[in-house]
Amino acid sequence: MVSIGDRAPDFTLPKAGGTTYNDISEFTLSDALEDGPVVLAFYPAAFTSGCTDEMCAFRDSMDAFEDLEAHVYGISVDLPFAQNVWIEQENLNFPMLADWNHEVIHQYGVVRPDLYGSIEAARRSIFVLDTDGVVTHKWVRSGENPDFDDLVDGLLEHLS
């Protein structure tokens, strides 16, 4: 698993922007780092209650992330078309990255092999990267889901 102090593995994935069903473009992490710190929020699956609660906590705090010039990206193994529908449905105000071939969850060591007993997905986890691509903060779920508002507030404190 990627640890604090490690250089985050670079990757390129489809990015769902959420304005339409087919709002899909290419995202490369190293390019995004040029614009400021990056928060990668891995989640198991769109449309599920815990993932919706977590991403809505990010949504509700997006002004604070923008004030810190930090960019948030959700990452799951969902296809970008589904992510676009979910973004629109939940009024999410940041893009989602589609790791549909599961390469990035393996690179970061956040594979959840048993979602619903049979599906490999992302383990709920968050990595904060500085503009050099170094991991400055990491959170990986253990046990029950946390209070997501508190989790996001803690991330903001770490970035400021």
Cβ proximity of 65 and 156 under 8 Å: yes
What SS3 class is residue 135?
strand
Count, in order, helices (H) and strands (E) of the chain: 6, 9
Q: What is the distance between the alpha carbons of residues 16 and 23, in angstroms, rounded to a whole number?
A: 6
Catalytic (active site) residue 56: no
CB 5 within 8 A of CB 86: no
Q: How far apart are CA 11 and CA 100, in angstroms?
A: 13
> Which residue among the candidates 46, 51, 72, 87 is catalytic per the annotation?
51
In a 10 Å sphere around its CB, with 0-12 CB exposed, 13-18 middle and 19+ buried, how is residue 113 labelled?
exposed
Angle 103-109-114 (CA atoms, 0-180°, nearest 5)?
85
What is the set of active-site residues?
51
